[in-house]
Amino acid sequence: MRTLKFLLVTLLIISVVPVQARRKASKKQQKEQVQLPAKVDSISYAFGIDAGNGIKAAFKDIKERSDLELKPEIFVQAFNNVLLNDSAVFTKEEAADILNKFGAEMQRIAREKQKIAAEKNLAEGKAFLAAKASEVGVQKTESGLLYVVERQGTGEKPTLNDRVKVHYTGKLISGKKFDSSYDRQQPLELSVGGVIAGWQEGLQLMPVGSKYIFYIPSELGYGERGAGKDIPANSALIFEVELLEIIR
């Protein structure tokens, strides 16, 4: 894992000042204690700050993903043992084995969390869509797509083989916005047959000049795979779509 590899590499460059000693001194005292008379001293110190910030972020990442809070005191002790007197408790091979096993454990924990989150998203999406389907003005197709006509245009309807120009905003059912052509102030051109199934079906319902809201079940969206960090697995989606033009 990148985080664990980063920890191993930066063992060679982080500060060797004992953590407890740093904690006892105020920030002002710490600054007064640091002497940087030469250019190489300033560069060395800056390098330590950069590496320290990286280590701090790595510790936080591990805490968030595994609920394991690493101990900086022991971390620095190991560094001192290796760099100052080569008296580490573990050999490099033993340390690598420990971290490899921990990496595998973190991957297992991540998979379990993703599975639980996906199941939760699926259940919440179904409940949201079931409630939405009963609202006045909401229409439902045979596939399960829900839509509301905000404005009905008078132009042609696109086919699966057409390219269209649209404005849109995409949200999760929580209301969190993950994408918007309006924010970019630039309409999007796309192939009707090249987008998610909910969009393919929905666009073909719209005459040019229309503005619809789509409520898309996860199976007509990005399904179990999700889409990056913004759209988790099994997410139901809400899209406000304005069909501007069919491009031929």
User: What's the burial of 89, exposed, middle or buried (CB within 10 Å: 0-12/13-18/19+)?
Assistant: exposed
Q: Cβ distance 189 to 158 under 8 Å?
A: no
How far is residue 98's CA from residue 107's CA, in Å, rounded to a whole number? 14
Active site residue 97: no
Considering the candidates 128, 147, 168, 214, report the single residue annotated as catalytic.
168
Q: How far is CA 137 from CA 17, 90, 94, 132, 133, in A?
A: 67, 68, 65, 10, 9
Count of beta carbons in the 10 Å neighbourhood of residue 238? 19
Cα–Cα distance for residue pair 88/121, rounded to 1 Å: 46
Which is catalytic among the residues 6, 45, 178, 182?
178
182 is catalytic: no
How far apart, in Å, are the Cα atoms of 39 and each of 35, 36, 126, 133? 11, 8, 63, 69
Query: In the annotation, is 47 catalytic?
Result: no
- Pick the catalytic residue: 79, 216, 239, 246? 239
Residue 239 among the catalytic residues: yes
Catalytic residue from among 45, 162, 173, 179 = 179
- Is 168 marked active-site? yes
**Count of CB atoms situated within 10 Å of the CB of 161:** 9
Q: Is 90 a catalytic residue?
A: no
Q: Which of 128, 222, 231, 238 is catalytic?
A: 222
Catalytic residues: 168, 178-179, 196, 222, 239
